Amino acid sequence: MDDLQALADKAPPHDIEAEQATLGAMLIEPGATARAMAIVEEDDFYPEAHRIIFHAMAAAAQRGEPVDLVTVSAELRRNGQLEAVGGGEYLTALIGRVPTAAHVTRYANIVAEKSLLRKLIQAGSSIQASAYDNPDDVGEALDQAEQQIFEVGQRRTSSDFVAMGPLITETFEKLDKIFRQPGYLTGVATGLGELDKRTAGLQKGDLVIIAGRPSMGKTSLAVANLALHAAVQHEIGVGIFSLEMSKGQLAELLLCAQAKVNGWALRQGMAREEDWSNIGHALTFLPQAPVFVDDTPAIPILELRSKARRLKSQYDIGMIIIDYLQLISGGIGYASESRHQEVSLVARSLKALARELDVPVVVLSQLSRRVEQREDKRPILSDLAESGSIEAEADLVCFLYRPNYYQRRQQQERQEGETESVPVDFTRPDPAEIIIAKHRNGPVGTVDVVFHPAYRLFFESAQRSDAEA
């Protein structure tokens, strides 16, 4: 307790001389004002007098007036604050503190750094107070604590302007590379050529929704195609939050997909000799693939975000996959809210997570039963289950559609009456469509693929003969 009391009695970090030098430089050179204001804000100054002076300078600059001894004194006098800051004598003394304004950027950076340290202390105190309050929802308290620390760090990286010149040059070089290398991707490759061509890969910071009715192959596309291709072919770390399938089931899916063996036959003990050979080959490199799985059922969104941050920090993952959105809990405090509001909260949080971690977040989503009531079973955006906010937050929305599935279902119903079970033909690929229904930064349209139920893999249409082999 004595150590805590000593910290409480200790003055927080600040540098009065750097603050005086910053304010003095702003008073003697017009250009110094703009440079300093790009780095520091009013609350970055420690003494109240310095905050008042900076506020007066900002007010004069906003009106288009020069920031000098005369205009700042007049502004302070108009507000009745001149004497409170030490009068004209103190303003004159500030000018005497700095011989030149050439180093104002360095002075301002010192002020900003001390301010960041004070904010870090404030965040720590807030976190400590929250913990002492013994909150009911420890997960929410942890998420809020992490968010406070992240906000302090973001102040350091997000407050600076960037000159347009280097950005233009960088953009030109990227476009030139695309021109010279047709097919060059700016995002994470999916391994499906036509889909990559239409999206240029899954982009950093994007929320990607893959939606479909049950048994359309959402998990297979996300895990067996996207995750495997990114991790095995490009060594990109992938975090998978599986709320429906267990870790063991996912491991089996990944192994059978990579080895291209019939998982159903394998589970029945009917695997062929060549299947075991393919599995052995897959085992030579699949265990080293940077894929990380969490199978917590009904995980609250706050816990998911916290785990994702740690995964990014520890393994620098390049993509997150979540299976699936409707199984994520809004957590305590949303139990009494409508399901629509809860799903809206989750969708907004996932989009914020994608931007915060700067990775594509691929989220699987169910479609409403309205699809089944139409003659044309191809999904449309209004079919997204439970919340229009999913469409609003998403950067890319893809629907999975397999027409033969519904044809087999109709045949089954004619023979046996209404049924939810549909027979699966494991012997041959099934034509499928990936319908790009929303693309914030590119074209929409349909990508024709084939789905092989035995391998639980999607292939490009041109690969159909390979899949059948």
Residues noted as catalytic: 244
CA-to-CA distance for 28 and 33, rounded, in angstroms? 9
Integer CA distances (angstroms), 269 to 308, 423, 425, 445, in order: 37, 21, 19, 42
Residue among 402, 390, 385 at smallest CA distance from 361: 390
Pairing mode of beta strands 396-401, 430-439? antiparallel
- Specify burial of residue 404 (Cβ count, 10 A radius: 0-12, 13-18, 19+): middle
∠ Cα 34 40 44 (to 5°): 150
Please give the distance of CA 277 from its chain centroid, rounded to a whole number. Answer: 39
CA-to-CA distance for 26 and 34, rounded, in angstroms? 8
Number of H helices, E strands in the chain: 21, 9
Kindly state the DSSP code that residue 365 receives in the 8-state scheme: E
Residues contacting residue 262 through CB under 8 Å, at least 6 positions apart: 256, 271, 275, 426, 454, 455
